[in-house]
Amino acid sequence: MSETWQGPLEKIDDYRWRIPKSYKAGMRVDGIIYADEKLLKDIRHDKAAEQVANVAFLPGIIKHSLGMPDIHWGYGFPIGGVAATDVEKGGVVSPGGVGFDINCGVRLMRTCLMEKDVRPHLKGLVAGLFNTIPAGVGSEGAIRAAGKEEKEILVKGAGWAVKNGFGIEDDLDSTEEQGAIKGADPELVSSRAYDRGKSQSGTLGSGNHFLEVQVIDQLYDVEAADALGLELGQVMVMIHSGSRGLGYQVCDDFIKVMLKCMVKYNINVPDRQLASAPVESPEGKQYLGAMRAAANYAWNNRQCLMHLCRLAFEKTFAQSWEKLGMFLIYDVAHNIAKIEKHVIDGKERLLCVHRKGATRAFGPGNPAVPEKYRLIGQPVIIPGDMGRNSYLLVGTEKAMSETFGTTCHGAGRLKSRHEAKRTVDYHQLLKELEAKGIVVMASGHGTVVEEAPSAYKDVNDVVDVVHNAGIAKRVARMRPIGVIKG
C-alpha cells in the first residue's frame, strides 16, 4: 500500500464525505465519496481520494466528482469513480474515466434449480463449466467471426450472438442498451485492436473475471424479488468479463490521441492520465465511436459466455436450458462513458457520464429500464469476492438526483495483486473455500491467490453504504458455491 492520504474529508452525513474544491487550486467542483467510518479508513490507505480531487479539474464537470465505497487507485480516474461533464458547455470525455477494460461488466442469470439439486453434481458442473468456457490470459474461444462479421459484432453487440443462435431475443431485452449501444464506429478501431479481439469472443479472460454458481441466501425486498423471479435457496449464475484485448487496445490507442490534443483545447489537468478532449471535438467523437464498438464487443462476449454456460448446465443435468429456467435477469456495464440526459437544478442537461468501476442504477419509471422492471427500478448487480457474497439490488430515484443514476460495482480491492501473491497461501486458501462448500477451478494458481477474499473489502460493508445512502436498494444476497477463473 502507498502512504495514507492526508487530504481533507468533511463529513456530510454518515455515508458521504466531501473533498472541498478549495483543497486544490483548479478544482471546478467538490469531490464526494460515499463511505462509512469503517470503509473510510481503507480509502485513506491509497491515493484514490486524490484522484477524486484531480477528476474535479476536468472541463465541463458538473455537480461533483464522485467516489463510490469500493473506490481504489486506478489509471487517471479511481476505480469506483464517477464524473459527468456538460456536453453543450465544452464538457470533455476522458479514456481514463472509462478504463482499459471497456464495458467490463456483469450479468446475472437465474435457474429453477435449488441448492439441493445442484450439490450432488457440483464438482462435475464446475469441471464442465471450466472445460466449456475458455479462461485465462490469451485464451481463445471456439465462437469465431471472420472478415465483415468482426465489424458486425462491433455494431450489433449481443445481437450478433443471438442472430447466430447463441441466445434469444429476451436476453437482449434484459441487457443494458439491449446489448448494443448506438453510435459505434468499427472503422475507428485499429487493426491491432482487431487482431487482439478476433479470437476472444466467448472467453472469460483473467484477473478479476469469473463465472460463479451462487445460491440466494437472503431476500430483503419480497415485492422486488417476486418481480425478478427469485426465492431462497435458488441457484443463480453470475458472469463477469469485458472487452478483452480489443478494449484494452482501443483505450491505449486513444490515450495517445488525447495526450497530443490537450494543448490544442487548452485542457489543464494535474495528471496526464486524465488526458481528454471535448465531447464535441473530432477526437472526442472518434474516441466515443471506438469505445462504443468495444463496449458492443463486450456485450457480445458475455452473451457468448452465457450460451456456453447454458450448454454446460444442459450436459450436467441432461435437460434443456429452458427447462432448467436459465433466463437472464440483467447485464450491466461497469466501465463506460455514456451520453445521457439528466435534470440538473431543475433543467434537463445533456451529459457525458463516466462510470469507471461503477454501475448504472436508474430508478423506477425510467424509460431506459426494461418494461418488466420499470415498477421496481433497474436491476443492479454488485459482485463480491469468491469467498463471501454478491448482491442484486435495484436503482433508486435518489441515485438519479445525487449520482447521475449510479452506484458501486463491487467490493473494491484492498490489497494489490502483488501483495496478495506475497501474503496468501494457495493451498490454504483452497482449503478455506472448500470448508465453506465452495468448489474452485482456475487456469493458474496466481489468479486464485490474487483474487483471495482477503484482497478485497467486505462487499457486505460496501452494499450497506449504498443501501443506507439510498443510491441502490437491496433485493437479494447470494453466496458462491462454484467458481471458475482464468
Active centre residues (catalytic):
409
Contacts of 71 by beta carbon, 8 Å cutoff, 6+ apart = 33, 35, 43, 48, 49, 52, 78, 79, 80, 81, 357, 412
On whether the CB atoms of residues 76 and 94 are closer than 8 A, the answer is yes
Tell me the CA end-to-end span of the chain in Å, nearest whole number. Answer: 25
Which grid cell is 447? 489468479
Burial of 356 (0-12, 13-18, 19+ CB in 10 A): buried
Sheet holding 347-356, edge to edge: 10-13, 16-19, 30-34, 64-72, 79-86, 347-356, 335-344
On whether the CB atoms of residues 400 and 342 are closer than 8 A, the answer is yes
**Residue 245: its H or E element:** helix 244-261
Among 24, 456, 398, 443, which residue's Cα sits nearest to residue 211?
443
| H helix runs in 87-239, sequence order | 115-118, 122-132, 148-156, 158-163, 169-173, 191-197, 222-228
C-alpha span between 297 and 181 (Å, rounded): 10
Burial of 418 (0-12, 13-18, 19+ CB in 10 A): exposed
Calculate ∠ Cα 233-372-335, nearest 5°.
Answer: 80
* Bridge partners for 297 per DSSP: none
On whether the CB atoms of residues 179 and 300 are closer than 8 A, the answer is yes
On whether the CB atoms of residues 210 and 179 are closer than 8 A, the answer is no
Measure Cα distances from 434 to 312, 389, 438, 449, 483 in Å: 22, 15, 5, 15, 11
Burial of 112 (0-12, 13-18, 19+ CB in 10 A): middle
Q: For residue 78, what is the DSSP state? A: P
Count the residues in the chain. 486
Burial of 404 (0-12, 13-18, 19+ CB in 10 A): buried
Longest pairwise C-alpha distance within the chain: 65
Burial of 400 (0-12, 13-18, 19+ CB in 10 A): buried
Which region holds residue 90: left if phi is over 0, alpha if psi is between -120 and 50, else beta?
left
